[in-house]
Each structure stands twice: as C-alpha cells, then as structure tokens.
C-alpha cells in the first residue's frame, strides 16, 4: 500500500511539473533567448539569419507588426513550443 501511495504521488508531481513548465514555456522560450544574442528582448534579422539562414520571407512573415524585429510572441507564433 505504501509503495502504491508513493507511486501515485510521483505521478501527480510529474504531471504538475510538466504542466508548470509548459505554462511558462511561452514566456521563457529557451531557443528565443539563444537567438536573441544581444538579450534586448527582440530578434533582429541578423540574429535570425545566424540560426535560420537568409530566409527573409519567413522573417517578414513572422514580423507581424512590421518593425523589423521579432518579439517573443511573434517568434513563438512562428516556431511554437520547444523550438
């Protein structure tokens, strides 16, 4: 009985941890932080190009507000979770 209780407790902790991580993924996107090499909170085409090549069309498509930079939300919209 004790082993079964510990087992279910571990499952509950695992599910809770995974849910928390996915909820924070949107605002703490690891790949975004790596691509944003100057850490200003936006990805310029020069930063984008280092990782994704000279794909100006993809960059322009992702730049929804057309300011020449990708915000975290724009980047996230382009690549989604875990990219």
User: DSSP assignment of 12-39, as one string?
Assistant: HHHHHHHHHHHHHHTTS-HHHHHH-TT-
**29, 76 in Cβ contact below 8 A?**
yes
Domains of the chain (ranges, CATH numbers): 2-79 (1.10.238.10)
- The separation between CA 39 and the C-alpha centre of its own chain, rounded to angstroms, equals 14
Query: According to the model, what pLDDT value does residue 5 have?
Result: 82
State whether residue 44 is helix, strand or coil: strand
* pLDDT tens-digit map of 10-51: 677 656 544 444 444 445 567 888 899 999 999 999 999 998
Between CA 37 and CA 43 the distance in angstroms is 8
Q: Is 43 helix (H, G, I), strand (E, B) or coil?
A: strand
């Amino acid at each position: 009985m004790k082993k079964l209780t510990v087992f279910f407790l571990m499952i509950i902790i695992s599910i809770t941890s995974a849910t928390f991580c996915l909820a924070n993924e949107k605002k703490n996107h690891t790949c975004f932080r790596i691509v944003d090499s100057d850490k200003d909170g936006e990805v310029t085409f020069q930063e984008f190009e280092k990782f994704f090549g000279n794909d100006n069309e993809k960059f322009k498509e992702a730049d929804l507000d057309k300011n020449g930079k990708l915000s975290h939300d724009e980047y996230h919209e382009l690549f989604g979770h875990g990219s």
